Amino acid sequence: MYNSIKNIAESELVVSRSRFLGFALPADNVAEVQKFIRDYSARYPDAAHCCWAYKTGFPENPQKYYSDAGEPSGSAGRPILGMISHFELQNVIIVVIRYFGGVKLGIRGLIDAYATSARITIENAEIVIKRQMETLKIRLPYSLYDTVKHEVEIAGGTLNNPVFETDIICEINMPKEKTKMFADELRAKGVKII
């Protein structure tokens, strides 16, 4: 299990006339991260900086990275990444867009502003607990369908894509930690794992 965010979250912060727009987005892989960075850079072409940090690919291929996007080294991306770690989030990207307000903030001021922007953005997000899921394809008699569906739902899973033939063929998507035990229970009832 791990913490992530459910949907896009946004924030706005003004520090010494500089405007910081924060965006947090769920992202399960680097391809999604890159798309979000391109999209938000394109959406705010007149901004002074588009800084970002992410943690993605968890749990199979965890990766993290950040960019200061022209701000002094370590003053933007690293504080954003620090907030992602502080909230113990995985599979998320935070983009912070800065419109320069004419007053230099200094490195300490930038670190504080980017960290605060990321923190507020995360606080505006709906944090959710996610589980690793696994899919089983099964074949079962009609007489067991309702019982199996009920047991799958109790275990925190879903029964999907039923095909009604001589028997019923469907997929079970359930928490990975329960899959082996549940598969054994299904076999004991006469359900075939295919």
pLDDT in tens, 12-49: 999 999 999 999 999 999 999 999 999 999 999 999 99
Task: Say if residue 6 is in the same domain as residue 36.
Answer: yes
* 131, pLDDT greater than 90: no
Judge if 75 and 161 occupy the same domain.
no
Q: Do residue 89 and residue 152 come from a single domain? A: no
Q: Do 80 and 91 reside in the same domain of the chain?
A: yes
pLDDT at 141: 93
- Whether 119 has a pLDDT exceeding 90, the answer reads yes
Residues 67 and 116 in one domain: yes
Position 146 scores a pLDDT of 93
pLDDT at 122: 98
Amino acid in the structure at residue 19: R
Instruction: Read off the pLDDT of residues 60-103 as tens digits, 9 standing for 90 and up.
Output: 889 999 999 999 999 999 999 999 999 999 999 999 999 999 99
Is 155 a residue whose pLDDT tops 90?
no
Q: Which of 101, 129, 157 is the last residue of a domain?
A: 129
pLDDT higher than 90, residue 59: no
**Mean of the per-residue pLDDT values of the chain:** 94
Is it the case that residue 125 has pLDDT exceeding 90? yes
Same domain for 81 and 168? no
Regarding whether 137 and 108 lie in a shared domain, the answer is no
Residue 136 backbone dihedrals phi, psi, to 5 degrees: -115, 135
For residue 77, the surrounding DSSP H or E stretch is helix 77-86
Both 124 and 136 in one domain: the answer is: no
pLDDT of residue 1: 81
Tell me: do 119 and 77 sit in the same domain: yes
Is residue 113's pLDDT more than 90? yes
E strand spans, the chain: 2-5, 9-15, 18-26, 49-56, 63-67, 92-99, 127-130, 133-140, 158-164, 168-175, 192-193
Q: Is the pLDDT assigned to residue 132 strictly greater than 90?
A: no
Q: Judge if 42 and 110 occupy the same domain.
A: yes
What is the total count of domains within the chain? Answer: 2
- Assess whether pLDDT exceeds 90 at residue 133: no
One domain, residues 105 and 171: no
Contact (Cβ atoms closer than 8 angstroms) between residue 93 and residue 132: no
The CATH number covering residue 154 comes to: 3.30.70.240
- Which residue segment(s) compose the domain that 93 sits in? 2-129
Please report, for the domain that includes residue 88, its CATH number.
3.30.230.30
Q: How confident is the model at residue 149 (pLDDT cuts 50, 70, 90)?
A: very high
